[in-house]
Chains A and B, each alone.
Chain A
């Protein structure tokens, strides 16, 4: 066997370089939004320290023997569920959600660790189900694996992270090869539920669409009716659930539907973020020169609204550059997953891709006012040590898979 010593053969720069660029952009934006802030002015240094630790962990994972990734699946999942239960009892409440654990000076969110456990476990389960994936029992178990953390995270309540877990689960099911009809059965109640939030008319339209689809799928009558009833009740259930939501959550939904309705309340951040980005223009106002950012118009801008710092200070060119970096990264992951040496590796990469993409879409969407304000950080860019660490763990897993892509198991 001939060993190829070329770096690109063992280490995927197409994954690593865009990630490093995003991290550097993030550090600059964190610096800009916190340097003059009375409370957060040490965040840049903290994030930098987190980066050093994250890079170390990244290389450790990169050099791990590949079979370890598979062995770790069940233990890490059980550990994740354990942590999610512990945080509900002993966690610390931050921004209204009981999602933080403190270990001395270090705080972290168990839901971050649960991302690893869940993706490993789901991929593990789906790897062995190849031809018989379309039976109810196996899909049911997969949904259970994926939705147990969703339920626990919703109890915190952390809506954003719950949505991410949902998207990961659906994406892995999709990639594992379930039939379009099974996909339709899994997805349609969710779509109906969401549409009913927007009012009666969207609800009726969606229900009709479901009905038409069922007719086109040409399944037997009993199954079709059952599925239709499930969809119908999902729509009504949402109305019922919204009544029992906390007032600040109800306001958030309302403010997404019309951000201008409550400009100083829930919609404030969204409006100010848009103003910051829009006023950036083509070239931006310059590093440390954005008045929206420097005059602290957006609370905690260095976390969920970090993209507005980039938009204001680096303008259209900077904002597009971030999108291009993500796009490069995502497309590379898709390619890697298609050419992975085994099913497990391929599923892992899709799990990571769905995780990163859902964060990217929801975060940037909320900064630009095209999705609701759901508190999720922008991967690699937003301030947050545990989030950066977990993201780098996934980049480590991906790089590990790349390193071992030619070996045989």
Chain B
């Protein structure tokens, strides 16, 4: 260092004195606070501890379209354990009194050890009155244990609805990390179905009660007499488009059967009834679900947890004939004068495609009324694969309908690209196309897609995305928020629809395949179908709408392994329509 002044000892030492001097003052202050006056600060820290106690909000209630309760709430007791105050010597006693297995409490404590010991852990949900009575008697000897009133779902309103309502589950540690700030350990969260889709609306806002706690974190009173408390706010109630009568009817008709029903109001896309059978008992999921129930549901060969109505895929069979008919009419390939002769089948190359009967001269209406396959074997060749696929997609097949529950399949509409991928470019055998004409082959659809398709047929190609939600009721203000359906219009001429609808009218009211479901109260139009099933008996399908002049309900019914659509699926559809329409007439009469 050649600089005489710079970095001199004087300057260095002055800085050293400042640094050491300040550190020394800090040391003295620390000593005086933490050693000399420690008891004073400890007292302060202990006495005046205000502790927030969070209170879960009741979830919103589900109502049907006429404001009947579908899913409600009921109070339940939850027993909790706060590790900071608890003595683990009590483990054995508490476990035996509550009927827990040995080591249950240590396991809970271990599983939740990353959380503060001042946060209570829920150890028993839906505790019985007997348990609460035992706790009340022995409270003095049970430090760190308390109970709170919470609400849990009440499913005692005569509706099952398992797949559409869905259930709530305790939030997983993984989810808790993703949704930090919104949820706390032990909170329930909508896991599937409507409970999941509308979680943000249903769950409400937690309440906070501030309490004063002493050095042992024991509650000694309320903070500021509760002035700063915030009451829990119940979540929004949901008004669903479901009609309870139609839903209950559908559920009763499907006892012991496998299959599904989706009924839609054609003009609005509102879902009137929705069923996947077999279902499961939502009450089993209301509090703590036992491992046995989980095992049984998961191992059941009938797959009760699987939502058939939106996830299962079927060949639509003859119910798909209207799609080919609409396509051909709209594209000008045929008109009502177009006729073919059905001699009991169709020869294509060296293959013969059979029809069920010898229908003779058949026009487009008769082809639907009598379900003539021959008509469609030749027609599909005229339409061609790409046009047929285009109309299929227009009617909502091959992609998800966007219904407001997340469990949904898109099905499959095969097209040129698809077959090029499977067989190589332009190599697919034309025979495949012929099967598509009668709704067989690779084409696969979900029940909800079929229901949307009928709704579009019924309402001249105008409808909205199928949905369950009609609106929300804000509980505090009783304000009603209406949900906005997503309307759309296929832009297909009414003329084409009229022809097809007339044919569907004749299926039920002419000499067609569903004459058995005629009823004096209203006029039904529809179409039966039989879906080939490579794994067993064929599935019976019926799609239809009513009343014919002014459609209020469009429906798709699938009964698995039941055989013909007319005998097994169509009567179910009629009874559900009746449950919905006949009551509506009564209501209308009362209003007048």
Contacts and interface: CB of A to CB of B under 8 A. Distances in A.
Interface of A: 35-36, 38-39, 41-42, 130, 171, 174-177, 274-282, 288-289, 291-292, 294-295, 297, 311, 315-316, 319-320, 323, 326-327, 330-331, 334, 337-339, 343, 346, 350, 353, 357, 361, 364-365, 368, 370
Contacts of B8: 177
Given A330-B19, A346-B6, 6 more contacts: A41-B180, A177-B11, A277-B30, A277-B41, A279-B42, A297-B49
B38 A281 contact: yes
B12 A364 contact: no
Interface of B: 1, 3, 5-8, 11-12, 15-16, 18-20, 22-23, 25-27, 29-31, 33-35, 37-38, 40-42, 44-46, 49-51, 114-119, 177, 180-182, 184, 217
A278 B118 contact: no
Contacts of B3: 130, 177, 343
Contact of B41 (A274, A327, A331): A274
Contact of B34 (A177, A311, A364): A311
Contacts, number: 133
Contact of A35 (B20, B33, B114): B114
B19 A331 contact: yes
Contacts of A130: 3, 6
A368 B31 CA distance: 11
Contacts of A343: 3, 6
Q: Which of A130, A275, A278, A334 counts the most B-chain CB atoms under 10 A from its CB?
A: A278
A6 to B, nearest CB: 24
Contacts of A291: 45-46, 49, 118, 217
A292 B16 contact: no
Contacts of A316: 30-31, 34-35
B140 to A, nearest CB: 24
Given A175-B11, A177-B5, A346-B6, A35 B34 contact: no
Nearest to A357: B19
Contacts of B15: 171, 334, 350, 353
A220 to B, nearest CB: 24
B300 to A, nearest CB: 39
A294 B118 contact: yes
A277 B26 CA distance: 12
A330 B35 CA distance: 26
A303 B124 CA distance: 38
Given A295-B118, A331-B16, A331-B19, A323 B26 contact: yes
A291 B47 CA distance: 11
12 contacts: A35-B115, A36-B116, A130-B3, A278-B34, A281-B38, A282-B38, A291-B118, A295-B51, A334-B19, A343-B3, A353-B15, A370-B29
Contacts of B44: 275, 278-279
A288 B116 contact: yes
Nearest to A281: B38
A217 to B, nearest CB: 17
Nearest to A127: B6
A278 B38 CA distance: 5
Contacts of B51: 295
A291 B38 CA distance: 15
B7 A346 contact: yes
B16 A320 contact: no
Q: Which of A279, A361, A370 counts the most B-chain CB atoms under 10 A from its CB?
A: A279
B115 A36 contact: yes
Return the 8 tightest CB-CB contacts between A and B, nearest first: A278-B41, A279-B45, A316-B34, A278-B33, A36-B116, A279-B41, A38-B181, A279-B42
Contact of A174 (B11, B26, B33): B11
B42 A278 contact: yes
Q: Which of A291, A326, A343 counts the most B-chain CB atoms under 10 A from its CB?
A: A291
A98 B32 CA distance: 38
Contacts of A174: 11
Contacts of A295: 49-51, 118
B203 to A, nearest CB: 15
B49 A281 contact: no
A346 B177 CA distance: 47
A201 B546 CA distance: 95
A280 B19 contact: no
A326 B22 CA distance: 11
A225 to B, nearest CB: 29
A292 to B, nearest CB: 6
A338 B1 CA distance: 9
Contact of A274 (B25, B33, B50): B33
A253 B523 CA distance: 84
A320 B27 contact: yes
